[in-house]
Structure 1
Amino acid sequence: MSSTPEPDPRLLAAHDLALAALHEITAPSTVGPAAGYTLEDDGVVSLRFGNTMEGYPGWYWTVSLAVTDDADPTVLEVELLPGEGALLAPEWVPWAVRLAEYQAAQAALAAEERENADAEGDDDLDDDEDESGEDDDELDDLDDLDASDFDDDGSPILHSGDVDGVDIDVLDESAPDDEDDDPDR
């Protein structure tokens, strides 16, 4: 049967040291009351304090302290950590992946609408018109995009010679030059 080691009482009593360390990185008004402690590896104790900042419900200020031999307690780390039930941001997903998921959902929705229209015998709508009679050519252009059109960070891949979607590499040789051949100019 294993027993849980007891934290060093000097670390549990070091609230003033922990608060002083917190006040070096955040305003005292953002630090709430003591909210317990966690015994870490190698005898390190992390003291927790409530957080009063808006936008961080369920988060705690945490100060990790250690002590060696007969020395005074020392601050190792000060941080803001989420507690149980804290609101966390969702994992980041690149734009190209989100776009592909959106396009797949839109394609599935369109297929379902076509099936429903076929089942009801509603052949009044053209393939390129929606129920309002508007042309869906803009949406057709979205189908041409896929994840290979975007960098890993979600930004569009620019091809050499493209300016605002116009390929400037292809020039009309028959077009007159804008420059005058007048050397006196």
Structure 2
Amino acid sequence: MTSTPEPADERLLSAHDLARAALYEITAPATVGDAAGYTLEEDGVVSLRFHNRLEGYPGWFWTVSLAVVEGAEPTVLEVELLPGDGALLAPEWTPWAERLADYQAAQAALAEAAGESADGDADEDADEDDDDALGDLDDMDAADFDEDGSPILHAGDVDGVDIDVLDEDADADEDDEDDEDDEDDEDED
């Protein structure tokens, strides 16, 4: 047994002024276009659609759902911006773990494709890269080292600040304290 929808109340179909007034409470009048039809909902509710003029929402419609309560004038139930057929929509949300797995699979496929396109020369390329890294050491000269013989960039550098310099200041303070302690010891004797 199928049910036929109730015929639309003519007062709801012609309540465009009421629908526009409700829309103007939530959006600027310039964003609301011409009437774009209606949808019959359950329980005699009618949703009037209006073209949307908001940039970034092509194919979306302002929708105002109206109803008539017995013995009263039409009233607004809901006002919203809804996508129409062919509207630009965001993709469905995918959990991070799935996106990461997809990304890793794509990276592995790219690496495999790059290895196959080299016709087995991937191992030779890896050996050449190792030789290049060691070759950089041969290019170093005395200007590439600090006064103490350590490389300019080493684990002691923090954001370009050589912490060894800071240690030298601390060593100087300790030496001064040691000298004062020695003088105190001599005074006691």
TM-score range, shorter chain: 0.5 to 0.7
Unaligned 5+ runs, structure 1? 136-177
What is the identity, as a one-letter code, of the residue corresponding to 1:124?
Answer: E
Give the deviation of 1:118 after TM superposition. Answer: 3.4
Counterpart of 2:38? 37
Q: Is the 2:67–2:76 contact (alpha carbons within 8 Å) kept by the matching residues of 1?
A: yes
Mapped partners of 1:46, 1:93: distance in 2: 32
Q: 1:122 to 1:46 in 2, by over 3 A?
A: closer
Q: 1:2 to 1:101 in 2, by over 3 A?
A: closer
Q: Is the 1:117–1:123 contact (alpha carbons within 8 Å) kept by the matching residues of 2?
A: no
Q: What is the TM-score when the length of structure 1 is the normalising length?
A: 0.64
Give the deviation of 1:114 after TM superposition. Answer: 1.9
Q: More helix per residue: 1 or 2?
A: 2
Q: Which has the higher contact order (CA 8 A, sep 6+)?
A: 1
SS in 2 for 1:66: strand
Q: Is the 2:5–2:42 contact (alpha carbons within 8 Å) kept by the matching residues of 1?
A: no
Q: What is the TM-score when the length of structure 2 is the normalising length?
A: 0.63
Counterpart of 1:118? 119
Q: How does 1:12-161 map to 2 (within 5 A)?
A: 12-118=13-119, 124-126=124-126, 129=129
Counterpart of 1:7? 8
SS in 1 for 2:126: coil
Mapped partners of 1:55, 1:122: distance in 2: 47
Give the deviation of 1:70 after TM superposition. Answer: 2.2
Q: Is the 1:14–1:73 contact (alpha carbons within 8 Å) kept by the matching residues of 2?
A: yes
Mapped partners of 2:127, 2:69: distance in 1: 76
Mapped partners of 1:44, 1:102: distance in 2: 46
Q: 1:52 to 1:40 in 2, by over 3 A?
A: same
Equivalent pairs, count: 139
Bigger shift: 94-103 or 23-32?
94-103
CA offset digits 1:109-130 (Å, max 9, x no partner): 21222233336x675311794x
Alignment root-mean-square deviation, CA: 3.1
Q: 1:36 to 1:134 in 2, by over 3 A?
A: farther
SS in 2 for 1:77: strand
Give the deviation of 1:66 after TM superposition. Answer: 0.4
Mapped partners of 2:51, 2:127: distance in 1: 59
Mapped partners of 1:87, 1:127: distance in 2: 50
Aligned-residue sequence identity (percent) comes to: 68
